[in-house]
Chains A and B, each alone.
Chain A
Amino acid sequence: MDVFFAILRAVVIFAAVLQVVPALVYFERRLAAWIQDRIGPNQVGPVGLLQPLADVIKLAFKEDLTPEGVDKWIYRLGPALVYAPAILAFTVIPVGMDLQVASFDVGVIFLLTIGSFSVYGLAFGGWASNNKYSLLGGLRASAQMISYEVALGLSVIAILMTAETVDLNSIIRQQWAAGTLGLLQWNIFQQPLAAGIFLVAAFAETNRLPFDLAECEAELVGGFHTEYTGLKFAMFFMGEYVAMITMSALMVTMFLGGWSLPWVEIPTTPGVGDIALSIGIFMSKLIVLLFFYIWVRWTLPRFRYDQLMGIGWKVFIPLSLLNLGLTALSGVLGWNWLIPLPW
């Protein structure tokens, strides 16, 4: 019975994440259009809601091209290696009260480990395509992801040090507090520097504008996925969006209190209603963050490559190390880090 429930949980949660992707693509296209004073897709179905479905059908029926001179196996492996880690990393995210696909002892470390596998997919795709633009895109993607992973990891470590656990549900419970100022218990207020670094590094990790140097439509055609068509391209595309959802979900969990709301008591024996409410809270926070992702994408221009690397190595890594040091110091001295709480 436990096995059955575990499989059911996995299927339902993974399927739900995959269903969010088309909605997100639609949402992104409409928002982009509104920002640019356009209308966006509004022809297929009511207010264009079926547009993602039409896109998927189009992609499915496209010819699956394999260009000449490619390394066939690596070429085929590329999209899978972007897509699979992105969705696998979602395993440990609690989408509702103690509700996740699987809870490991390693928690967030598993997420970071698996999530960083997608760099292989980008590098493979770029290398195997036998195309100079793809190669440049793949190179940039790997360099960028490896650089920003350091800052991302260090900012997460600062949280883990104060939380003294890697279990995401415990981290969420620690961010909950009663009282009117309960909001301040969230890690985004406890560790604002770590939150800022995490946010920017998450943009870089998911290859989103302003850090989409790996794709760079203007200079690299499409970067690592230039030579991919049909469903292989769709897998790259889905992988990018799932990675974005996973990163946002991790941000919600680590910094924004996850499925908990301040002022709302966490029950020890949750009923179905409590779990549904917690899922709703999680989803609302996730949607706000995804909106922020899209909003930033259609506002900021792309960074130059040397600027990207300069910011990564000269600003974010020292800053996150400093933050780590301060956190350690405050832990040793027994300070209530940054905002002294009255309780």
Chain B
Amino acid sequence: MANHEETPEEKPETATTEPREKATFGMPLIKGLANTLSHILRNEPNTIHYPAEKRTPFPGYRGEHRLKRDELGREKCVACFLCSTACPAHCIEIVAEEAPWGDREKRPRLFNIDMMRCIYCGMCEEACPCDAIELTPVYNIPSRSRGEKIYNKEKLLSL
């Protein structure tokens, strides 16, 4: 009991810098008005005039996908299904066929990505053993119909 009375100053620190009774309107009010006035006078908007003026995406930005080609112009993809397995949104559809080339067994006959389902997480890029799929920094991706947003192999290779 006596111990309790001896340590009254060990109160937890509160976030407020001033005690409530001493808080006043006057100075904060004037400071606030001066601050907003300085913003009016400075007039440095942070706005980007979007359609007229485009922002360069930050490095590592994850936009639309593309499929890469090797030095002979063939798609790098070997239809291993690792990307579609890794995909949390199940938006990659692959149908494999036998590859006509000697250095691999399979290549994709179909390679569709449903961009409307894609969450642009980049897991496919992480999972790919052949470095065949990647996310480009293209962010301007609207279209006029849902069908247009299902990208097939040709479209993905051409990007």
Contact = CB atoms under 8 A, between A and B. Distances in A.
Given A300-B29, A300-B32, A295 B46 contact: no
Interface residues of A, number: 13
Interface in B38-65: 39-40, 43-47, 49
Interface string A120-155: 000000000000000000000000000000000000
A300 B36 CA distance: 10
Given A34-B39, A34-B40, A37-B39, A295 B45 contact: no
Contacts, number: 33
Contacts of A34: 39-40, 43, 45
A295 B37 CA distance: 8
A37 B39 CA distance: 7
Interface residues of B, number: 14
A33 B45 contact: yes
B44 A31 contact: no
A299 B32 contact: yes
B138 to A, nearest CB: 26
B42 to A, nearest CB: 8
A295 B36 contact: yes
Interface string A1-42: 000000000000000000000000000000101111111000
A37 B44 contact: yes
B33 interface: yes
Contacts of B46: 37-38
B123 to A, nearest CB: 37
Interface of A: 31, 33-39, 295-296, 298-300
The 10 closest A-B pairs by CB, nearest first: A299-B36, A35-B36, A34-B40, A39-B45, A39-B47, A299-B32, A35-B39, A37-B46, A299-B33, A37-B45
